[in-house]
Structure 1
């Protein structure tokens, strides 16, 4: 049976890309990354498509990197493959992408959301970057982008404590375009996408490029340093201990190495 970790469909100028590992909380392994990368490429290169919506099957939007896959040796492919995590967090894009979030978007799941251009969330959605709790860093754009999207002191608290926030707080901080009833995020995101898809494609491309230009230029200068930190921590003893402790459901014993 073919592994369909990512589903893809198009309708009326809109691409719908759906994470489809609900039993694994849509955690990102190599297969999901490869399929997600292919879906983004398919969307970007189809001239009939104006906008994409990223959604997820199951009660969790995405729990981030599949830690069991990391332990099994897939870490480099997941984190440092073309386009970065999920093949999209560091990929240059010309077309707008909307995240439709119901449930938890944590770690790499939240970093996918931060890589999107707009976000619609159900009121029970949560967002967090808990990497410090397992000896890693939010190196798929989270540490770079969060402080640019909200007050830096709040971003620092989220990064350093790993504590998530709810949809209402995310809306208050300017992370969301819409906060809707739980279970209605996809419907609302598709409605927003339809408004965008009705507009001129060259206008959409130019508008998105100019709106994101300053942030993209700033990020480009920092990705190399970001990846150095991520690679160093991914190879550290503390990361092995933190991930092992998480899988074994025990408190980690940090060594600082």
Structure 2
């Protein structure tokens, strides 16, 4: 696991580390169970924007320092923004929950998420907004906004129902009950469960395998799959010919053919 800064500001921070073509994005406020402050959410958006904008980066890994992923929003710190209807991130940046809110960008590049320990509220929404999730077997999940008199607005009401079905989603959305990693796997909220302590290494392995593929094709495939879920199969199929024509004319497609003929690993450049 990447080393944690010895001095963490009281309001927390987001640490980033480049590892080849990967960007590791670390939530860092372990003394407060990584509860999100406005500063942390702003820095998270900045990290996601860096991932999308830097041509040398091909995939991201979201993880957390300390024994817990996040207890969610630090409500005393975030409540004034919520009451004013304001967001903690500047317009034009990539929105970490990937909801397509007007004025904010959606993430294009793939993101793998590693979670452990307490993973509440925003924590669930951030992992559901990622593309693949690796969970430690010690996770405790809860979408408990109803226990605080508010509603989940970071995507849980949408994505929990899409992944698990409406009844299973409402069971946890309306009660705020906790559930564990095995249940999260059953409900398709996470894709892998590993022994606690191994979640980040496994997430990095997955991200490295993704980053080894043709970058243009990876982004196009990800966006088409999302379109199928959000707008329907017919809208996604409507893009097939144009997208394939564009991809097949790329340098990476030519390299894919050469590597096949020469029986070697492809060396993709993202062009």
Structures share fold, TM-score greater than 0.5: yes
Q: Is 1:60 aligned with 2:86? A: no
Aligned to 2:176: 162
Q: Does structure 1 retain, via aligned residues, the 8 Å contact 2:8–2:29?
A: no
Q: Deviations over 1:84-126 (max 9, x none)?
A: 9x94113411111111001111011111111111100111112
Q: Does structure 2 retain, via aligned residues, the 8 Å contact 1:65–1:78?
A: no
Q: Is 1:17 aligned with 2:20? A: no
Q: Does structure 2 retain, via aligned residues, the 8 Å contact 1:120–1:177?
A: yes
Q: Does structure 2 retain, via aligned residues, the 8 Å contact 1:29–1:78?
A: no
Q: Is 1:38 aligned with 2:46? A: yes
Distance in 2 of aligned mates of 1:78 and 1:160: 25
Aligned to 2:123: 109
Using the TM superposition, give the Cα deviation of residue 172 of structure 1 relative to its aligned residue in structure 2, in angstroms.
Answer: 1.6
Using the TM superposition, give the Cα deviation of residue 215 of structure 1 relative to its aligned residue in structure 2, in angstroms.
Answer: 3.0
In the alignment of these two chains, the number of paired residues is: 216
CA RMSD after TM alignment? 2.2
Using the TM superposition, give the Cα deviation of residue 64 of structure 1 relative to its aligned residue in structure 2, in angstroms.
Answer: 0.9
Secondary structure of 2:61 counterpart? strand
Greater Cα radius of gyration, structure 1 or 2: 2
Aligned to 1:204: 218
Distance in 2 of aligned mates of 1:214 and 1:115: 15
User: Where in structure 2 are there 5+ consecutive unaligned residues?
Assistant: 1-6, 100-104, 233-271
Q: Does structure 1 retain, via aligned residues, the 8 Å contact 2:62–2:112?
A: yes
Q: Normalising by the residue count of structure 2, what TM-score does the alignment of the two structures yield?
A: 0.74
Q: Is 1:145 aligned with 2:159? A: yes
Using the TM superposition, give the Cα deviation of residue 44 of structure 1 relative to its aligned residue in structure 2, in angstroms.
Answer: 0.6
Q: Does structure 2 retain, via aligned residues, the 8 Å contact 1:28–1:65?
A: yes
Distance in 2 of aligned mates of 1:106 and 1:29: 15
Q: Normalising by the residue count of structure 1, what TM-score does the alignment of the two structures yield?
A: 0.78
- Pair 217,143 (structure 1): closer, same or farther in 2 beyond 3 Å: same
Secondary structure of 2:71 counterpart? coil
More helix by share: 1
User: Where in structure 1 are there 5+ consecutive unaligned residues?
Assistant: 219-257
Using the TM superposition, give the Cα deviation of residue 77 of structure 1 relative to its aligned residue in structure 2, in angstroms.
Answer: 7.5
Q: Which moved more, 1:2-11 or 1:142-151?
A: 2-11
Using the TM superposition, give the Cα deviation of residue 217 of structure 1 relative to its aligned residue in structure 2, in angstroms.
Answer: 3.7
- Pair 21,152 (structure 1): closer, same or farther in 2 beyond 3 Å: same
Corresponding residue to 1:92 among 93, 99, 106: 106
Using the TM superposition, give the Cα deviation of residue 81 of structure 1 relative to its aligned residue in structure 2, in angstroms.
Answer: 3.9
Q: Deviations over 1:42-90 (max 9, x none)?
A: 111011111100000111101111112034x243577564579x94113
